[in-house]
Homo-oligomer: A and B are copies of this chain.
Amino acid sequence: NNYNIHDFDVPLTTVDSVLFTVQDGQLFTLLVQRANHPAKGMWGLPGGFVDTQQDTDLDHCAQRHLQQKTGIEAPFLQPLVALGNGQRDPRGWSTSISFYALMAHADCQHYVDTVSDVQWFPLAQAQQMSLAFDHTKILDLALKQLQQKALDSLVLAYALPETFTLTQLQHLHEVILGRSIQSKSFRRRIEQAQVLQDTGEVSDTQGKGKRPSLYRLKPDIAEYRFVRNLEA
């Protein structure tokens, strides 16, 4: 009844976000350079402590830090993992609750261009960097989840412009998976899923053949899980 957390050695709670985007056929992730100790000057994931006065919940906390540190409002923050132990932060026993999102490059580039301590890194480069805390581990886990989503679901359309061709959608899945997928099987699954609307318009891509149709995601399709995934 008269529980006081200050009587205990309470662990820290931080929230971190992994953002992905695809640009020029390459997967990128967003990093920020730390302005304060510990790990001052190192690059890491955008995030920070829960503020019990400001943050209504963990998701809100993640969005607040993203907004403050990168100017980005992420469209769909998906829960990733909670990592907590006595070693990951020199300030004390600490838990990082992480989220991840894949977003369109266009939605976020303006602010990032204006500051020096926020930057999109090619994923392969970011994975080789020495990141703050255990952020390399969190980044690796996020990539694994994103790749599983690229097999299981169509959520990836959110990283494309509002209208897109089926070839663009397939290419996005391929960039994330790091390998090609069978076009026939991909299109059959998308058809079965019934999550795309034909806009009636065609792409203005230059080329010899018929111009490809433009599609958009049906409203309220936050995440569709393929009944058969793409490996089948």
Chain A residues close to B by CB (< 8 Å) = 1, 3, 5-6, 8-13, 37-38, 49-50, 52-53, 55-58, 61, 79, 81-86, 91-93, 95, 97, 227-229, 231-232
Contacts and interface: CB of A to CB of B under 8 A. Distances in A.
A8 B14 CA distance: 13
Given A5-B92, A13-B10, A82 B97 contact: yes
A142 to B, nearest CB: 14
B95 A83 contact: no
A82 B85 contact: no
Contact of A58 (B10, B37, B79, B85): B85
Contacts of A56: 85-86
A71 B12 CA distance: 29
Given A228-B228, A231-B227, A9 B97 contact: no
Contacts of A228: 228-229, 232
Contacts of A86: 52, 55-57
Contact of A49 (B8, B13, B81, B84): B8
Contacts of A50: 11, 84, 93, 95
Given A1-B37, A57-B86, A58-B95, 18 more contacts: A8-B49, A9-B53, A10-B12, A10-B52, A11-B50, A11-B52, A13-B13, A13-B95, A52-B86, A55-B86, A55-B93, A61-B84, A84-B97, A95-B97, A97-B97, A227-B231, A227-B232, A228-B229
A43 to B, nearest CB: 20
